[in-house]
Chain A
Amino acid sequence: MTAPTIAVVEDNADNRLLLRAILGDLYTVAEYESGADALVAFGRGAPDLVLMDISLPGMSGVEVLGRIRADRRLRRLPVIALTAHAMAGDREAYLEAGFDDYVAKPIVDERVLVGAIERCLARTS
């Protein structure tokens, strides 16, 4: 059974490296530096889940999410927001925007990240 493919959309190279280190033994990880690059790739083949940085160059993570949800082929794709904007009420705002979950940065406990991924994957399997 092949591991699920997790798309990481994150412009910071060190954050991409960190996520690959945490997730690489559990999943197949595909990395994208921008929302535009990710959307082009998703058009060819969708991952099983997306980890989406909110602050991206060009299109923001919220805008990319909007494109995903507007695409009939992608709209059920689980997308988890990754963000340093961890203020009170942010989680609810991201869920209202259409994200399936959100994980705060910096990542201090990998179990929080993996738990969020596994819950989202379970809901869509």
Chain B
Amino acid sequence: MRGEAGGRDAVADGREALARLHRFGGDDLVRAMSAILLADVPARIAAARAGVRAGDCAAVRLAAHSIRSSCAQFGAVAVSALSADAERAALAEELAVVPALLDDVERSFAAFRGWLERQLPVAAGDE
């Protein structure tokens, strides 16, 4: 079920995903993957916007797919679902609708980012 970042379902998805990542690789993995996500998603959004300006459906689709995939691994269900919408629009070569979808992705990710940053384990030496 899609939930807005900050809603109870979204938080439950996020917490479950972080617990799973912690099980896979501890605090170090959670911190490292989070750092990549927080840098990568804005860059992918920018790449998607550039793709729209260039009329490059393949570039938009690849960027949206990457956002969808990365955010799904973090339980960012709303961001992932919105990215999937952008990916489908690019696949259908309907670039006109993509900018508004990317605005939604950006807003949703900003909310998820705020939540994620509050959950991140403190690195040794940072306390």
Contacts and interface: CB of A to CB of B under 8 A. Distances in A.
Contact of A18 (B24, B62, B68): B24
Contacts of A17: 29, 32-33, 36
Interface in B1-51: 17, 20-21, 24-25, 29, 32-33, 36-37, 40
Given A17-B33, A18-B33, A106 B25 contact: no
A105 B72 contact: yes
Contacts of A21: 24-25, 29
A108 interface: yes
B43 to A, nearest CB: 11
Contacts of A57: 62
B66 interface: yes
Interface of A: 11-15, 17-18, 21-22, 55, 57, 84, 105-108, 110
Interface of B: 17, 20-21, 24-25, 29, 32-33, 36-37, 40, 62, 65-66, 68-70, 72-73
